[in-house]
């Protein structure tokens, strides 16, 4: 029996533990994954974490395709390379750095999960004025997965250098499904102390004060 959640109060150690998981979470790429397989119980826990995410009108509009077939993975890699070829929008110095980055881990990660948004066929409470909250619900589920994976000492990376519709076709997804994210999961050789793009000085960490406004802009 799971403990009752009713009015469950968390203590300072549990609060600190949560913040540490958030701070220690990384976006993991193919240069960090080890080939140790993921236990199926861990996959179940990660999916359980996804499935208790918030969703607009309790619509739970998420679907998860566990991609294990090596041929399918290779097709996703091909799609990545095709899109990545076109990523020439950085200035000259950054283009050289960009070429050195490992930006996906599709083959290296033992588990890939394509996450889709399946809109409800019925009206959803709270969604009519902000239709994008359906997609946002799926993203909340993805963030739960990311944190749960990290707590299980499993790395996760979100590959966005893809054409969503190409992946949708590859996975034979129905017309009304929309790809939100393509995720790579695996044990890692190491978790970095800082996000890789911070460490490489690609972007600086923003101080929280620069992002907070009191009452009105």
Which residues in the 64-103 window bind its own copies by CB under 8 A? 64-69, 72, 83, 86-87, 89-90, 98, 101, 103
Is residue 102 within 8 Å of residue 29, measured between CB atoms?
yes
Using the rule CB under 8 A, which residue among 30, 62, 105, 110 binds its own copies?
62
Distance CA 75, CA 118 (A): 23
Selected from 177, 184, 185, 186, the binder of its own copies by CB under 8 A is 177
Closest contact distance (angstroms) between CB of 35 and its own copies is: 18
Question: Given the structure tokens 């009191």, which residue do they identify?
Answer: 214
Segment 183 to 202, residues that bind its own copies, using CB under 8 A: 190-193, 195, 197-198, 202
Residue closer to its own copies by CB (options 38, 47) is 47
Calculate the dihedral angle through the C-alpha atoms of 154, 160, 164, 170, rounding to the nearest 10 degrees: -50
Binding to its own copies in span 103-162, by CB under 8 A:
103, 123, 125-130, 132-133, 135-136, 139-140, 142-144, 146-148, 150-153, 158, 160-162
Burial class (CB in 10 A: 0-12, 13-18, 19+), 196: middle
């Amino acid at each position: 029996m799971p403990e009752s959640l009713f009015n469950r109060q968390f203590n300072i150690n549990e609060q600190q533990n949560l913040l540490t998981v958030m701070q220690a979470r990384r976006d993991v790429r193919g240069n960090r994954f080890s080939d140790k397989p993921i236990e199926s119980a861990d996959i179940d826990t990660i999916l359980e974490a996804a499935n208790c995410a918030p969703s607009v009108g309790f619509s739970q509009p998420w679907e998860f395709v566990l991609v294990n077939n090596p041929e399918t993975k290779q097709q996703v890699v091909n799609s990545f390379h095709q899109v990545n070829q076109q990523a020439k929008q950085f200035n000259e110095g950054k283009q050289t750095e960009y070429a050195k980055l490992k930006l996906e881990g599709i083959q290296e990660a033992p588990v890939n999960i394509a996450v889709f948004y399946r809109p409800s066929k019925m009206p959803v409470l709270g969604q009519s004025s902000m239709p994008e909250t359906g997609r946002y619900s799926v993203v909340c589920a993805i963030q739960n997965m990311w944190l749960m994976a990290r707590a299980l000492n499993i790395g996760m990376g979100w590959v966005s250098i893809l054409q969503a519709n190409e992946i949708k076709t590859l996975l034979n997804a129905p017309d009304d499904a929309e790809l939100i994210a393509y995720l790579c999961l695996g044990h890692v050789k190491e978790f970095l102390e800082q996000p890789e793009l911070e460490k490489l000085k690609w972007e600086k960490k923003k101080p929280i004060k620069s992002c907070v406004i009191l009452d009105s802009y």
